[in-house]
Structure 1
Amino acid sequence: MESFYNEREHEMLKLVEKLVNIDSGSYFKEGVDKVGKILTEEYRKLGFEVEVVEQEELGNHLVIQHRDAVNPEIIILAHMDTVFPEGTAAERPFTIEGDRAYGPGVIDMKASQVSLLYAVKALIHKDENCFKNIKIVLNSDEEIGSTTSRAIIEREAKGKKYALVMEPARKDGSIVSARRGKGNYTLIVEGKAAHSGIEPEKGRSAIEELAYKIIQLHELSDHEKGISVNVGLIEGGSSANTVSDHAEAQIDVRIAEVEQVELIEEKLEEICSSTDVAGTKVVLEGEMNRPPMEKNKKTRALLRIIQDVGNEIGVEIEDTATGGGSDASFTSALGVATIDGLGPVGGNAHSDKEYLKVPTLVERSLLLATIIQRLTEKSK
């Protein structure tokens, strides 16, 4: 298969360029759907059926499998959305400097889309029927929590043996075997306004109450156990000489183990069940929206297979854990053996310095194709 890729590296890069130069921020439906149409056409040319799951406001999701597939055992996840607003691609389009390619979403994860597509093409070219053993879900809202696609991912993942997730490999080439779970909460405090010079005693400061709560929330962090609670954004008040009657905080929660979900939720509820400033009211909204991806027995077994494949094709594979979220959490929580970070190598995602290590586009596509081949052989 290596010669197949070497002959098509330029072709692969041209498709990466085409995708990168399309704005596809999560809230820009037109752009995400444009990416989806290009990929739909590519897969249909290969004999794959593409179910387009229509979305009213966000981009459509795609569920893809070969027309001759029967109960595929491998689910592959990749997202079409980026974090960048409309107009970014025009401001800094796809470029190549040395062995790096730059552009919005180039590594997270336009290059992964191309890597996946060409892994499928290579298997077909080699006449390997294992391309019938995969189901692909391309979603449009991963960067904003997979709010409309989570149910689709979980539905399609049920009964699968393996989940391969196409988030990019880390800068050092490591793939991802564990991720922390994630929750997003909003803390809303209502107080009573008053003039701070004339009658401050009649006021009930929402900001003061929020300050107490922030301290209590941050005390929940236990970094040795993988728990972190961060109040990352606050707002409130109307003027410096007014006792504030409203304040809000955005809270990011990360956990390392499923068992910590109940613990952290109980502590959040306890903190918000009372107030320190008399006369104020507190409301907590939100939820733990991504379970942790734990490095369990199934994951370790899948990791060993992938590392063996890497050794065979001359790619040393290390694994790592990360605090960032991805759709891998959903498949892992269902008990499916899951490995993430199987896309090409790059870095600085979500920034104007985002890059792809160009040689790894072919390398990781070959790795993925060989993994699919190996997992299919094991199932026979």
Structure 2
Amino acid sequence: MKYDVKKAFDFIDEKESEMKQLWIDLCKKESQSADIEGVNNAIAFLDENLKKFGMTTKIHKFSVGANSITAWYPTESTELEMALLGHLDTVHKKGLFGEEIVKIDEKEGIIYGPGVLDCKGGVVVASLVARALHHIGYDKVVKLAFSGDEEVGHSLSNGEGKKFFLDELKGFKAAMDCETGFVDGRIVVGRKGTTNYKITIKGRAAHSGNEPQKGISAIREGAYKTINIEKENDYNGIHYNVGVIEGGTSRNTIPEMCTLTVNVRFRKLKDLEKIEAFLKEMTETSFVPGTTATIEKLSLSDPMEENEKNHKLFEHVKNVSEELGFGTPYSCYLGGGSDAAYSVALGIPTICGMGVKGYENHSLRERAVINSLVERAKLIVKSILTLPESF
């Protein structure tokens, strides 16, 4: 069936002001990952608006942590064409942006605020795409799936947030994660996974002036472990970062305790075996005689493994972008993770970074380009409408 692309684009233009206001209002619903009430309020607000648009929605509640949400337009078709992903939680604690949470610079065409880029702007893009497709009678299934604890790797939902995606995305032909978009046009075809560990080191306390020879410094051991762990770094492969060191009780006491929090980035799930064997060896090795140590795994976010299917989808979107005069995107691989990992794990061709374009997410300078809302919606709509049947 041939669909009217111009009619879809006209609808997007017509709804631009309305969806821009939704973008603003959604970002005003502050929702840092650990603020369960705040995240749930943002999801409830989105749920209310999606229902107004005529969509069927489902709020997914877990045993712990914030909710997630799916939405779609009912159709008689069983063809699962496209899943559009995103998340409602942000890294910004409530109140950091002051009383005027969201600011607009109309002259520069920029919107500032928590989550305007990462990734509530992308959530609004996906919602506008679904509306435009429904408006022209598109009858295949396009599902929106938005998480409530993406920024913390679903650790606050004890992994139930990960299972949410694995359950909801099964069978889809393709997927796009409407995560942070980039002003230079790049589109993400792969991302590293992330895992975190805590190494706890025990030594022996002693007065650093009267009898230092009786002490065994846990901090000194921590320094040796840090140096030896980070010697193994391969920025293109497995990368270790001892990001937090804590220890000691006072400046005149040989420190009895020290903890290292180690963040590890990796390309493939099979890398985990190598990572854990190495960190176990480092934990059990005492560089300072008399120290002991234990290790605890804190969290795991799967990698979005780069593959030919992802590149094929990217090439399709790149061609559409050129046809529309939106420029020539290029493919990239990033060290930061996203929920695109789970659609890839299901064997679904996936690209990421398809949300609004902007700058400096995860900072108080987070901002997005306002007109990229319409551009990205049109790019995704035409990419879906022209996706080959045999893709």
1: CA distance between counterparts of 2:15 and 2:192? 37
Kindly tell me the number of residue pairs found equivalent between the two proteins: 376
State the Cα distance separating 1:167 from its structure 2 match: 0.3
Given the alignment, which residue of 5, 14, 22 partners 1:7? Answer: 14
The answer to whether the 8 Å contact 2:153/2:299 transfers is no
Which position in structure 2 is the counterpart of 1:51?
Answer: 58
Structure 1 residues 128 and 172, CA gap change in structure 2 (3 angstroms): same
Alignment partner of 1:26 is 2:36:
no
Question: Could you list the per-position Cα deviations for residues 149-196 of structure 1 after superposition, in whole angstroms to 9, with x for gaps in the alignment?
Answer: 111111223333322101021231211111112111111111121112
Which letter maps to 2:217? S
Which position in structure 1 is the counterpart of 2:103?
Answer: 95
The answer to whether the 8 Å contact 1:24/1:35 transfers is yes
1: CA distance between counterparts of 2:177 and 2:146? 11
Could you list the runs of 5+ residues in structure 2 that have no partner in the other structure?
Answer: 1-7
Correspondences of 1:170-209 after superposition (within 5 Å): 170-209=182-221
Select between 73-82 and 63-72 the one with higher mean Cα deviation.
63-72
What is the DSSP-based 3-state SS (H/G/I as helix, E as strand, rest coil) of the residue aligned with 1:142?
coil
Given the alignment, which residue of 215, 218, 226 partners 1:214? Answer: 226
State the Cα distance separating 1:5 from its structure 2 match: 2.0
What is the DSSP-based 3-state SS (H/G/I as helix, E as strand, rest coil) of the residue aligned with 2:386?
helix
1: CA distance between counterparts of 2:299 and 2:324? 39
2: CA distance between counterparts of 1:257 and 1:288? 16
Which position in structure 2 is the counterpart of 1:128?
Answer: 138
Which position in structure 1 is the counterpart of 2:305?
Answer: 294
Given the alignment, which residue of 149, 157, 168 partners 2:180? Answer: 168
The answer to whether the 8 Å contact 2:31/2:39 transfers is yes
Select between 194-203 and 353-362 the one with higher mean Cα deviation.
194-203
Question: Could you list the per-position Cα deviations for residues 14-40 of structure 1 after superposition, in whole angstroms to 9, with x for gaps in the alignment?
Answer: 111111111111112222122211221
Which position in structure 2 is the counterpart of 1:243?
Answer: 254
2: CA distance between counterparts of 1:144 and 1:171? 25
Structure 1 residues 56 and 155, CA gap change in structure 2 (3 angstroms): closer
Q: Which one has a larger percent helix, Structure 1 or Structure 2? A: 1
Correspondences of 1:324-339 after superposition (within 5 Å): 324-339=336-351
Which position in structure 2 is the counterpart of 1:140?
Answer: 148
Which position in structure 2 is the counterpart of 1:358?
Answer: 370
Per the normalisation by structure 2, the TM-score is 0.90
The answer to whether the 8 Å contact 1:92/1:104 transfers is no
State the Cα distance separating 1:313 from its structure 2 match: 1.9
2: CA distance between counterparts of 1:372 and 1:219? 46
2: CA distance between counterparts of 1:63 and 1:119? 15
Per the normalisation by structure 1, the TM-score is 0.93
Structure 1 residues 57 and 256, CA gap change in structure 2 (3 angstroms): closer
Correspondences of 1:213-362 after superposition (within 5 Å): 213-223=225-235, 225-286=236-297, 289-316=300-327, 317-362=329-374
Which runs of at least 4 in structure 1 moved beyond 4 Å after TM superposition? none
Which letter maps to 1:2? F
Which position in structure 2 is the counterpart of 1:83?
Answer: 91
The answer to whether the 8 Å contact 2:72/2:143 transfers is yes
The answer to whether the 8 Å contact 2:162/2:342 transfers is yes
Q: CA RMSD in A?
A: 1.9
The answer to whether the 8 Å contact 2:193/2:268 transfers is yes
Which letter maps to 2:39? V
State the Cα distance separating 1:112 from its structure 2 match: 1.0
Which letter maps to 1:350? H
Taking only the aligned residue pairs, the percentage that are identical comes to: 35
2: CA distance between counterparts of 1:174 and 1:217? 32
